[in-house]
Every structure is written in structure tokens, then in C-alpha cells.
Amino acid sequence: MAEIENQRKQKPSWNVLGRCMVSLASVGFTQFSLYMVPYCFPSSSLLTLLPISAVAVLAVAGLGRCWKVLLGVRASAPAFVFFNLVFIWCVYIFVVRQAVSLFMDILFNAELLMLVIGLCSSQFPYKLFVVGSILSSDPGFVPHESFCRDPADRPFSDVKAHSESSISVRRVGYCKHCKAYVKGFDHHCPAFGNCIGQENHFLFMMLLAGFLISEASYIVCSFE
């Protein structure tokens, strides 16, 4: 388990900084392109602007791939998500906040605060502060040797325990991104930079619901 964590953390600091800077630039280009869409198409309806905005976001994503080819550094999806949250929070505080009620103000700030803590903090404030953040939480990593050893080479107690847990072992999946086996493997989430497995699936669903609720609240506050 410790070996898997060490492999995930062994990244040069300059590479991490470069990926964060590319992510920050990508957020700036993305938000600027979305901001310019209504000005470029002032007579278009909202339903028309939505697909145009989607094309603009895809164009920025393509630009990010060009940066990877030119600079040799690609954007970090978790950093991209974090910087987008910070941008939305800043726009809300300096532009939208003056026009919303006190209740909506408290609610929206609490939602964003929970999302930021859930993404970045070592202790997510749910279940009495015992659940790790989605970025660093253990999704249920399983050492390769724990289920790949020959049963003939194991003690009888280990073979018995292995047979009793055969159902759970069948649910162990391999993540090619993390190069690790994960218990209850669902998928690798690039936005959070972590596998989603048995141990952090509930936290993933909570954060996903939080993002949807925060986005809906942001839209409601913007229309107010």
C-alpha cells in the first residue's frame, strides 16, 4: 500500500508547478471564451448559445493538447477543477453576491467551501471528519501479491481466508492509470486524479451531487 502511494507522489516539483500553471491558463482561456460567446452572437437565443459554448470549451481543450506537444507539459485535471471553483467563487463574491438574499449567500458559500475542502483537504468534514479527501483518499488499493500468489504456497489459514473472500476478490479491478489493483473498482476519474473504488465511492457521489447543487445554485443566484 505504501509503495503504491509513493509511486503516485513521486513527481518532480517543477512538473507539478508546470501542470498547475497550464491548468490555470486553461481556466482563463475557457472562462474568457465563454464570456465572449454572448458578445459574438448577441442576437442568439440561450438554446443556441449552449452548443456554441460547448464548441468553445472543446476548442480550448484542443489548445491544451497543443500546449502538451509544444511545452511537454499537460494540464492537471484536479487543478483545472480547483481553479474553476476559485474563479466561480470570485465572480460570485465580486459580481453576483450583491443581488442575492442572505440565505442564498450563506448556502452558496457553504456549498463551495465543502467542495474545496472535499477536493483538497486531508480531512473531509463528513462522517465526523474521518473520510479522506477525494484527491488523496484510498479507493481500496489491493497489493498485487495478496491475490496473485499461488494458493499452494500459502498457509492453510491464508487459503481459507482467501476462499471466503473470493466474491470480493472477483470485484478487484486493475487501473492502468494508477498501475494498481483496486477493490470494487468503478473507474479512474481524471477530474479528481484518483481511482473510484469501494472505499471512496460514497465520497465521490457526495462530491458529484455537491457540484450539481452548486452549479444550480450559481445559476439561480446569477438570474437574481
Query: pLDDT tens across 181-205, in order?
Result: 888 888 888 777 788 888 888 888 8
Question: Which pLDDT does position 151 carry in this prediction?
Answer: 46
Query: Confidence class of residue 28 from pLDDT cuts 50, 70 and 90?
Result: confident
Question: Which pLDDT does position 131 carry in this prediction?
Answer: 37
Query: pLDDT tens across 127-166, in order?
Result: 433 334 666 677 788 876 555 554 444 444 443 444 444 4
Q: Count Cβ atoms below 10 Å from residue 21 Cβ, excluding itself.
A: 15
What pairs with residue 172 in β-bridges? 183
Query: Confidence class of residue 222 from pLDDT cuts 50, 70 and 90?
Result: low
Strand spans (E) along 56-121: none
Question: Which pLDDT does position 50 carry in this prediction?
Answer: 79
pLDDT over 90 percentage in the chain: 0
Classify the C-alpha dihedral 13-19-20-22 as positive or negative.
positive
Pairing of strands 180-183, 172-175: antiparallel
3-state secondary structure of 132: coil
Q: Which residue has the higher pLDDT, 116 or 150?
A: 116
Strand spans (E) along the chain: 141-142, 172-175, 180-183, 187-189, 194-196
Is 60 exceeded by the pLDDT of residue 40?
A: yes
Cell digits of residue 59 = 476548442
> Is residue 100 within 8 Å of residue 224, measured between CB atoms?
yes
Q: What are phi and psi of 124, to 5 degrees?
A: -85, 130
What is d(CA 204, CA 197) in angstroms, rounded to the nearest whole number?
9
Q: Which residue has the higher pLDDT, 205 or 6?
A: 205
Question: Which pLDDT does position 5 carry in this prediction?
Answer: 52
Whole-number average pLDDT of the chain: 72
Is 80 exceeded by the pLDDT of residue 29?
A: yes
Give me the residue spans of the domains in the chain.
1-75, 76-224
**pLDDT (average), residues 217-223:** 69
pTM: predicted TM-score of the whole model, two decimal places: 0.64
Is 50 exceeded by the pLDDT of residue 13?
A: yes
Strand spans (E) along 52-118: none
By the 10 Å C-beta count (0-12 exposed, 13-18 middle, 19+ buried), 26 is classed as: buried
Pairing of strands 172-175, 194-196: unpaired
